[in-house]
Structure formats: structure tokens, C-alpha cells
Amino acid sequence: MATQSTPRKLWEHPNPGTTQMHQFKNYLSSKTNTRFPDFQALYTYSVTHPTTFYHHLFNYFPLIYTDTLPNATSDRPNHIFDPTARMDSIPAWFPGMQLNFAENILSSGPRHGQPCKTNKEDDKTACVSVREGSFTEPIQHLTWSSLRHRVALLANAMRAHGFGKGDRVAVVASNSIDTLTVFLATTSRGGLFSSSSTDMGVKGILDRLTQIRPRWVFVDDFSVYNGRTVDLRPKMAEIVTGMEGVPEFEGLVAQPRFSDRPAEVSDVPRTVSWEEFLRKGSGDGELRFERMDFSDPFLIVYSSGTTGSPKCIVHCVGGVVLNGFKEGMLHRCLGARSVALQYTTTGWIMYLAAVQALLFGSTMVLYDGNPFLPNLETFIHLTSRLRVSHLGISPRYLQELQKNSIIPRQVADLSALQVVTSTGMVLSDQLFEWFYDVAFPKHVQLDNVSGGTDIAGAFATANPLLPVYTGGCQGPSLGTPIAVFDSTLKGGRGVKGRRVEDGVPGELVATGPFPNMPRFFWGDEDGKRYRESYFAKFDDCWVHGDFVMIHPTTKQIIFLGRSDGVLNPSGVRFGSGEIYAVVDARFGELVADSICVGQRRPSDTDESVMLFVLMKPGRKFSPGLVNDIKAAIRKELSPRHVPRYVFETPEIPTTVNLKKVELPVKQIVSGKIVKPSGTLLNRGSLDYYYQFAKVEELAGPLKAKL
């Protein structure tokens, strides 16, 4: 897409006045005596009057809380956060406000912060658990009453085991009802929850666990993926061995993957069964909640750690609850009648997003396994059968459907579907247009989201008051002050950033505090690693690490790639996403995937762009294809975008969440030796790229492809 042209409009809400976003706009207008003619005016107010905005935002939602501030009603607007504090001081929000994550999930608070069961009535379905294949194992429906009872039993067993506020529990488990129960039981007690998926290697798991030092680790006894059942008891034993030097660690609890036949774990050291752990609670089914300060920690998530130990990012209870209401209810139109299916592992931040659907009384669909088993249409049929209204997937999922000529709207009845959320990587312009022209019903909103683990939320997200155009994200998240700064500035301590005009690519930044900023990194006692991660480049300004552009006409936020992967040949800066868009659009029939990185070795005076393409089965890589790719990039972008080298690759490195990882490849081809982290799904794939550090010496077939 040309940066200055107006992209094609693909969708508009048929009746925006009925949406919660519109109703909140009117609510805030009446409370502040301010007119908001459009969303841009509302957003501008939210970031220029943050204390007033967040005061009214909090009051708009049915949260359950206690306000301990004296004269709370009159004083509260002046006690949201300290607006004079530097952003890098990580100011506390809503002092005196106390709440609990699990309580807000399991109950509703329609007035004055008091709990009730509105939209979460006992006999209403809270969760639907679906195992791989959708129909090979029974689909389990769980009511709100049953979910509350399960959480109470486990939470009281934890209490009997001495678990309390500030203690950590981790899971290595699937997206299941048991895992959800552990999450809610842990947080009901004021503890901190952390999760990893079962497909992560033991090293990657221990890189996380040895940092956060949990008291208990809940682990699935078996995993099932792609039709293959794996006994996880050997992995349990390795985890126990790896945790021997952690004094806080008390042991493992085995979660039964098959409820009718739990694995025998008596031979696994320091491990008890789920039932044995529960027995200590003596069947106590009374729900109790430890309300915590708004800024108290409750969740630990992790950076990808693709080239080093992962950062243990700690989020606070109030920030996640409030932001969950804001993004879910206002931006994504989730409500009590919604049915939300987010495809995710427990090792991805989207697991939290999936759980947050319960805040509104929505039905949460938990899916565990390969969405393409037994065939590519299975997930579509499941979406239809469960009357899913909000479906969360990734661009890779859409690519698989497209390349296999699967047309969802011809496969099943998708009349209940309202929103499809895509995240995890750049969504190409081609997929936007395929989505509406070919694949899905035209009434469905395509919600391209970007933000992530670091903020437990989005910088750019859906909006029912704005159109969907080809490419990018619809707009910013309310109350989160973002901007695009000049990425050519070297930056450093005390260096002020400089805004660029709309239409000019640059560095995505946040210029002021917001409640869902992480509180700290676990183990980062002096905060040095936190500051270096977000505040090292520009003074008192969060730098997120994304290379983006705001469209000058539509105000879409267009993500062009990661900043550490920005390509810079001869001083021309552009994102790898621009290259991927051309390859996907023009060569999708031949190329399955690609990865584009810059090579600059210590002896190089300039950067060279390298493009590696993974061919589809049965398709051949050839010098003619190389010439065609270069010609297409020259025509669609510019001569300066053309890669110097184009090679075939047998495999593209990804994380366990299937995000392609450019930085290790960039470092390797630039002459560095990389120690891959346990979060990489295919660590061995990196070995192939070492030969390209000496690209001039390549001989034979490889040389012919330069």
C-alpha cells in the first residue's frame, strides 16, 4: 500500500450508536460537559485529561472493589495517579482502591462495587472446553456455579497448604478448565500466577521458574497435539531436578489430561495428584477473596527471550482488570451474550485475553490442540456449532486457509460471528482483502491488534466507531498516549524524542503513564533492566520496539516490523513487514513464508538486506523467482527496498507461539554466535543461517542464488 494513498474501506459498523463505545462517549460527555464529535476527539481527551478520564472510566464499568480513601466520592478524581510524576518512575494508580482479579471474573458488580451474579447466574454456561479435533472427545460445558465451586475447593486447599498473598504458582499446562481453575484460585488468594505451555522445552520452562521461584507448579500429566499423546511425567521429573536449588519450591501437582484416567505419579519425586492436593482443603467450598491494592502484582508473563533469559514481567491486578474492561467492552464489543474463542496456548499473553472475556459474563471457549485436526475446516465448523461471536486467531491461520482455498463462509453458517481478532504478526494487505472479498461474511469486523505481553493489552486495536481499511490497525486504545518518534535519532540518556508527521515511519512510543504498564520485572531489584528495556532511548518515554506509521488520512496505525529488525541499507530505513507484504501478495502460490533481515558485520561499511524464502511443497526455488521477487519489490516499493540477496531456506525459526523471530537470524548472519532460548520452537533451524555470515565464500548452488 502506498503510504500516502487512501486505502480501500472494507467495513463499517451498521449501527455504531448501539455500541458501548458510543454510549461511553455520551457518558463521558455528560460527566465532563465536553462535546466529542468523533472518536479522535474522545481519544485526545483521554490522553490529555488522564485523571478525569480514568476516574469516569472506572465508574462506568461494573467492577467489584473497595475504596479505602477517606471521602472517596469527593476526593477520588484528585487521587487517580500523580500526573506530575515521571513516566519512568512507574507511578501507582488509584491509591486506596482494592480489588481482586478472580472476584471480578467470578462475580459482577453492578453498583457501588458490591458483588452479585448479574450476567453470571448459576445455571448459565461460563466455559466450554474443547479438545483437539472438536468431536473426538466430548465437549464439556461448565456453568458459573460449577466454576465457582471448583475455584473455591482449590483455593481453600491452597490456603490449607499455607499459600497466601505474594506467593507464586506456575502451571505447565494446556488451555483447560483445570488450568483456568488454578489461575482463579491462585489470584483469589492474592497470589501471583504464571503459565507456560506443555510444548516448551524443559530449559525454557526452568529459565522462567528458577527466576520467579514458585511454591507449587501444576503440570499436565499428558499432552495431546496433532494426534500424538505424550507422557509428561519424564518432563515433570526434570522440572523437579531443575528446581532443587529453589528453597521456596514445595513440589508439583499433576493435572489429569484425561479426567477418567489420571496418570500414576507416585514415582515422580515431590509430585502429588490433583485429588491428593485437594484433600487438604477438606471439601471447603466457600469462596473467599483477598482484595489487593490496585497496583499490587498478580500476574507474571515473559518476554520471548529468543537470545537470552526471558524478562519476567509483573502486571498489577487493577491495571489488568480495568484495561480488560476497556478493551473488551468498548473496543471489542464483548458482552454477556458473547461467545469468545481465542486460539492460544497458555504460554502467550492471549491466554489472559481469553480469560478476560469472563469479566463481562461472556462464554469462554477453551480449545486445546491443533486447530487443523482432523482437517482444515474443523475450527470453522466448531465456530459455527458453538455460535461463536468473537474469534481470535493469527495471520498464520488465515494464510493456511487461503493457501488451501478454504472459504469459511461456504464451509459453515457464520451468521453469529461478529469479530475476528488477528494478532501475533503483521497482517498483510492481501489477507485483509481476501478476508472480505472471498473468505468471511461481510458483516464481520476484522480486528487487527498489536500490543502484547509487555502491557497486557494493546496499543492499537479494534474500534466500532471507525471503519476497517486495508492494512494496519483501526486506531489507538483509549487512554494510552501513543506517538511516532523519529527513529533516526540515536537516543540515549536524557535525549528527547521528536515526533514525525503522519505518513512518516518511525518508532512507536507511549508518552505518558497508563494503568496497565508493568509494575516491575521479577528479580530486577534496582529496576535497571526495566528501564533499559523501555526507557533507554528517549527521556521519560516508553519505547515499545515497533516500527510503525500513522496513515495521514485514515489514522490507521500501520505496523512495519520490529525496530530491532528495521532494515537500513544506505541510510534508507524500512520495516521487514513491507517486504513480507509484497512476497505474500505476489508470490503466495509459490512461497509458504519468508524472513527478511539486515546483515552488517564488523567489517561492513553498509547494511545488506537478506531475504530467505520457504517454498511451498512441490514448488521450486530458481534464479527466475529471485529476479521476479526483486522486480516486484522494486515496482511495489522502491529500488532501495530490493534485497541484495535472496536465498531459499528449509525452515524459518519461530517461537512456540509461531511468531517468526528475526533478531537471532540478523545476529547470526552478521557474524555473531547466538545461544537460542528455550522459547524457540525449532532451535535447530538457526544452524542453517550461520553459513551466510560468510556469504561471499558460498559456493555451488547457493552462490548461484545471490
Percent above pLDDT 90 for the chain: 79
Strand blocks (E) in 563-672? 591-599, 608-615, 645-648
**Residue 112 in this model has a pLDDT that exceeds 70:** no
**Residue 477 in this model has a pLDDT that exceeds 60:** yes
CB–CB of 199/163 below 8 Å?
Answer: no
Cell numbers at 668, concatenated: 547470526
Cell numbers at 104, concatenated: 471480578
Model-wide pTM > 0.95: no
pLDDT at 307: 54
CATH 2.30.30.30 fits 9-60+65-99+464-557, yes or no: no
pLDDT at 1: 39
Domain boundaries in the chain? Answer: 9-60+65-99+464-557, 103-107+135-334, 567-704
Residue range 149-170: mean pLDDT, rounded:
97
How does pLDDT run across 627-641, given as a tens digit for each residue? 999 999 998 888 889
The helix/strand/coil state of 581 is helix
pLDDT at 704: 46
Number of other residues whose CB lies within 10 A of the CB of residue 455: 25
Give dist(CA 215, CA 221) in Å, integer.
19
How does pLDDT run across 522-566, given as a tens digit for each residue? 999 999 999 999 999 999 999 998 989 999 999 999 998 888 778
Task: Report CA-CA distances (Å) from 487 to 507, 508, 564, 571, 605.
Answer: 5, 9, 11, 12, 20
For residues 608-637, one letter each, b for 16 or more C-beta atoms within 10 angstroms of the residue's C-beta and e for the rest, the string is: bbbbbbbbeeeeebeeebbeebbebbeebb
Residue range 257-278: mean pLDDT, rounded:
96
Give dist(CA 405, CA 446) in Å, integer.
19
Mean pLDDT estimate for the chain: 92
Give dist(CA 316, CA 456) in Å, integer.
10
- Which fold is adopted by the domain 103-107+135-334? Rossmann fold (3.40.50)
Q: Which of 319-333, 489-503, 630-644, 648-662 has the highest mean pLDDT?
A: 319-333
CB–CB of 253/274 below 8 Å?
Answer: yes
Helices (H) and strands (E) in the chain, counts: 21, 34
Residue range 411-439: mean pLDDT, rounded:
94
How does pLDDT run across 320-354, given as a tens digit for each residue? 999 999 999 999 999 999 999 999 999 999 999 99
How does pLDDT run across 348-362, given as a tens digit for each residue? 999 999 999 999 999
pLDDT at 702: 55
Residue among 371, 526, 367, 548 at smallest CA distance from 475: 548
Which residues sit opposite 364 in a β-bridge?
A: 127, 340
Confidence of residue 75 (pLDDT cuts 50, 70, 90): low
Give dist(CA 187, CA 167) in Å, integer.
10
Residue range 371-377: mean pLDDT, rounded:
92
**Residue 70 in this model has a pLDDT that exceeds 90:** no
- Which fold is adopted by the domain 567-704? GMP Synthetase; Chain A, domain 3 (3.30.300)
Percent above pLDDT 70 for the chain: 95
Confidence of residue 698 (pLDDT cuts 50, 70, 90): confident
Backbone torsions φ then ψ of 665, nearest 5 degrees: -65, -40
Residue range 688-698: mean pLDDT, rounded:
92
Give dist(CA 39, CA 504) in Å, integer.
22
The helix/strand/coil state of 202 is helix
Q: What is the DSSP string of 39-90?
A: HHHHHHHHHHSHHHHHHHHHHHS----EE-STTHHHHGGG-S--TTS-GGG-
| Cα–Cα–Cα angle for 406, 2, 548, rounded to 5 degrees | 85
User: Which range is least confidently modeled, 201-215, 421-435, 546-560?
Assistant: 421-435
pLDDT at 49: 96
For residues 209-221, one letter each, b for 16 or more C-beta atoms within 10 angstroms of the residue's C-beta and e for the rest, the string is: bbbbbbbbbbbbb
**Residue 298 in this model has a pLDDT that exceeds 70:** yes
Give dist(CA 549, CA 566) in Å, integer.
13
Q: Between 659 and 450, whose confidence is greater?
A: 450
Residue among 439, 491, 477, 676 at smallest CA distance from 557: 477
Residues 6+ apart with CB under 8 A from 49: 32
pLDDT at 137: 78
Confidence of residue 301 (pLDDT cuts 50, 70, 90): very high
Residue range 21-39: mean pLDDT, rounded:
97
Confidence of residue 73 (pLDDT cuts 50, 70, 90): low
CB–CB of 221/257 below 8 Å?
Answer: yes
Cell numbers at 16, concatenated: 455504531
Strand blocks (E) in 139-235? 140-143, 168-172, 192-196, 216-220, 222-225, 228-231
